[in-house]
Structure 1
Amino acid sequence: MTSIRVCVMLVVFLSAFAGGVGVSFDEVQAQQKERRSLFSIIFGTRKSRKVEPKKQTKKKVRSGPVVPKIIEAAKNPDAYGVLVVGDLHARQLADALKAGFAKDAGVRVIRKTRNASGFARKSVVDWPIALVDLLDNNKVDFVIIMSGMNDRRSIRDEAGRHKFKSPEWQALYEAEIHAFRDILEDRKIRYRWVSSPPVSTPDISADMAYLNDIYKTAIRNGSGRFVDIWPYFLDENSKYSSFGPDLQGQRKRLRTKDGIGFSWAGAQKMSYFVERQIRRSLFAARFLQVALPDGLAPEELAALRGERKLPYHIQSLNGFQSKDGDELAGGDGGTVDTATLSGSAKEFFVDGKPPAPRKGRVDDYTLLQ
């Protein structure tokens, strides 16, 4: 083996000498590489295994809340139609309402929202015009509106572009709100306007509060109601908070990480306050078909139907009757024999003597003596 190695080295040396003494460094390195490669062939040197690096796959991060799969029961042909319109917040509200009424065959939630829409963005959706089409092509008994997040922008008309919050801007914006409201008033459709929520950016929150005042004023002059969800998404210091109690009273994340949207827990909490309004209206539509007293004013009749709120309450006394007639529940028409009473029961019911206070209880006045 040694003689073979010597012969190989001699051949390499003679080849280099034949090419001239002035061999470059690169050529010597190339010859050494060839020598090493030749040695590896002759002596079978061990080859190192190449380990390919594992490809790292990026985890997909969900943007927005995770909405569970909602399986709705088959709806009745005459189901109470609840139309939800508006922007991103309205879409999240509609999803939560769908879940809330999923098993109720008598209520159908119709979601017709556009995330980027607003009453200042007619190029996306012209809501008064769209509303007429929706009412003409769907059985709608109740309408819910939630908008405003995309309305912090200028409005253009024939006179030019008007900056957000300017007097001209407010006049044009209020005209759009009134046009939408008047369509519902003319068709005598119940409706609720849901306030915009607070967001994590203080300046945007201030703008949302400004828009809420416009909505509230417009609804006050109609038969609808304004559902203010703003306070339910603040902390104990009346500041925005992404966390808070859910419907079960557990502390949960209620808002998405962008500080604008709602988590699923937050959407359910928001829908709770709206769902109550729908169920009240539904009760009025289904069960208040009773004999009403004569002489009621038009606004009182509207209040009984859930169309208008009054500063006092009207209770129909002849709408419902006990199955046992005039007898009170639990009564058998008999009398109680006081002679059978004894002890503390006799002292309380017959003698009129109050029971002795228990030590440490709130009515134990002996502690003050």
Structure 2
Amino acid sequence: MWLSRTRRPRLPPRLPGFLRMLALAALALVGMAPAEPVFAQQGCFLFICPPGVVPQAPRNRRPWFAPGDMFAPQQPAEAPKPAPKKPAEPEGVVYQSADAATQGRKQPQSQFILVMGDRIAGQLAQGLADAYVSDRARVAVIETIADESGYLPTPVDWPPRFPEAVAAARASVAVLAMGNDDLQPIKDGEVMVQPLTDRWMELYAKRVDDVLTALRAVAPRVIVVGLAPVQSTTVSDDYRRLNDILRSRAARAGFPFADVWEGFVDEEGKFAVFGPAVDGQRRRLRLNDGIRFTRAGGRKLAFFVQKDLDRILADPARPSAGMSGGPTERPAALAGPPAGARGTPAAVPVSAPARSLMEGVPPPPVRGRADDFSWPPPAEASQ
């Protein structure tokens, strides 16, 4: 009698003992336990099936016994691979004074960078501390910050604060970074002059001159940092005009001007939230307010200042501009336009070899030299 498809297989109770053992062994060899009667569900018993029924191996089930199991080596479970670690951010420390920087050190730092200015200057200070983290045994970064301040006398008048700040920092070089809050009316007698008018530009340039003169009296080595673009297109355009003034007045005072603008715009010259960081990776550089910088952005901001800083720290006896004299000894072409002039100052004529050394600009090709790619070659042209 054939078994039902839904019933478990049962061996005839009266089979002889050896036949019963043979049947159980056959069931075991095909990987079929009595609890899961695969062949029985197909109407088969002891490999004998009704006509038209083909036995099938059980699906998704490993046989009870496989010949290779006895000799196969046991493979340990593979541990999951740990996720790659993100490179640790540099942990530069910004101090409030030179005494705080040298406290507890057997060998105090020998050079101190003082950063003064507004809230952006605070982020620049952190970026510089991160930049010099590998050289912290020699260089320390000190900050004197007033978040809402600028070259204008209100709300913070910086010139009276310079002597104390420079002395507390024992500044080897002072970095001045402010101007973001300077788009304010300026009082001219009894009149309030509106920002970026011709008269306002004259008054603002004079105020910048006064601030830089006061700083030069206590810190001969100074770097003036330009403004970076912001998310507002209108404000960015205004900052460009302020940068023209800061650049010309810094040159007049004999201070290098760190232009940071190109580091924070895209290929079309527009404000960029993301961009290449100093590690070569594309990172977020600006915060959601479109003004402040991320940690990576502050580090990139410091990158544009570090070039002048390294040069000054390498030879601290020389003035900021790398010249032996003060501003009165500078050529007239380097002094910048007079107060109130608008636009970028005219370029100073520089010889081709000097530009190659200072700016990396290749000299013009010489006829017949290896870098001359004109056609036809000189030998053929003379025939």
- Alpha-carbon offset, residue 229 of structure 1: 0.8
From the superposition, tell whether residues 302 and 158 of structure 1 become closer, same or farther in structure 2 (CA, over 3 Å). closer
Contact 1:155 1:162 in 2 (8 A): yes
- Which one of 100, 105, 123 corresponds to residue 92 of structure 1? 123
Residue matched to 1:133: 164
Counterpart position of 1:230: 261
In 2, the alpha carbon distance for the partners of 1:169 and 1:77 equals 46
1:116 to 106, 124, 148: 148
Contact 1:242 1:255 in 2 (8 A): yes
Deviation at 1:247, TM superposition (A): 1.1
The one-letter amino acid paired with 1:263 is: T
| Alpha carbons 1:82, 1:141 under 8 Å: kept | yes
2:216 corresponds to which letter in structure 1? Answer: E
Q: How far did 1:261 drift?
A: 0.8
The reply on whether 1:201 has 2:232 as its aligned counterpart is yes
Q: Give TM-score scaled by structure 2 length.
A: 0.55
Aligned pairs, how many? 235
Say which SS state the counterpart of residue 134 (structure 1) adopts. Answer: helix
Q: Distance in 1 between matches of 2:220 and 2:206?
A: 20
Render the CA deviation track for 1:264-289: whole Å, top value 9, x for unaligned. 11111111121222111111138x9x
- Is 1:191 matched with 2:222? yes
Cα separation, 1, equivalents of 2:118 and 2:93: 23
In structure 2, do the counterparts of structure 1 residues 160 and 77 end up closer, same or farther at CA, with 3 Å as the change threshold? farther
**Shift of the alpha carbon at 1:171?**
2.5
1:1-369 to 2 correspondences below 5 Å: 70-71=92-93, 74=102, 77=108, 79-103=110-134, 104-120=136-152, 122-187=153-218, 189-285=220-316, 301=324, 311=350, 312=354
**C-alpha displacement at 1:102, in angstroms?**
3.4
AA at the equivalent of 2:145: T
Quick check: 1:131–1:180 contact (8 Å CA) kept in 2?
no
List structure 1 runs of 4+ shifted beyond 3 angstroms: 67-78, 184-188, 298-303, 307-313
For the residues of structure 2 that align with 1:247 and 1:217, how far apart are their CA atoms?
28
Distance 2:156 2:217 in 1: 21
SS of the residue corresponding to residue 156 of structure 2 reads: coil
Is 147-156 or 183-192 further displaced after alignment? 183-192
Work out the CA distance in 2 between the residues paired with 1:118 and 1:215.
12
Per the TM alignment, residue 301 of structure 1 is displaced from its structure 2 partner at its CA by: 4.1
In 2, the alpha carbon distance for the partners of 1:107 and 1:153 equals: 36
Distance in 1 separating the partners of 2:322 and 2:172: 20
Please give the alpha-carbon distance, in whole angstroms, between the structure 2 residues aligned to 1:228 and 1:71.
25
Describe the shift of the 1:276–1:162 C-alpha distance in structure 2 as closer, same or farther (beyond 3 A).
Answer: same
% identical aligned pairs: 29
1 CA distance for matches of 2:232 and 2:149?
20
Kept in 2: contact 1:143–1:191 (CA 8 A)? yes
Secondary structure of residue in 2 paired with 1:221: helix
SS in structure 1 at match of 2:230: coil
Q: Distance in 1 between matches of 2:196 and 2:173?
A: 31
1:117 maps to amino acid: S
**Structure 1 CA distance, aligned partners of 2:128 and 2:226?**
16
In structure 1, distance between residues paired with 2:322 and 2:197: 36
Over aligned residues, Cα RMSD in angstroms?
Answer: 3.1
Distance 1:176 1:132 in 2: 18
User: TM-score, normalised to structure 1's length?
Assistant: 0.57
Alpha-carbon shift at residue 206 of structure 1 (Å): 0.5
Amino acid across the alignment from 2:189: E
Structure 1 residues 172 and 300 mapped into 2: Cα distance closer, same or farther (>3 Å)? closer
| Deviation per residue, 1:6-64 (Å, 9 max, x gap) | xxxxxxxxxxxxxxxxxxxxxxxxxxxxxxxxxxxxxxxxxxxxxxxxxxxxxxxxxxx
Structure 1 match to 2:52 = none
Aligned equivalents of 1:177 and 1:242: distance in 2? 30
Q: Out of 166-175 and 262-271, give the one that drifted further.
A: 166-175
User: Over residues 131-184 of structure 1, what are the superposed CA-to-partner deviations in whole Å (9 max), with x where a residue is unaligned?
Assistant: 133234441221111112111111224322111112332222222211121124
Is contact 1:128-1:176 (8 Å) kept?
A: no
For residues 231-264 of structure 1, give each alpha carbon's deviation from its aligned partner in whole angstroms, at most 9, with x where no partner exists.
1111111111101111122111111111111111
Q: Matches of 2:165 and 2:155 in 1, distance apart?
A: 16
Contact 1:185 1:223 in 2 (8 A): no
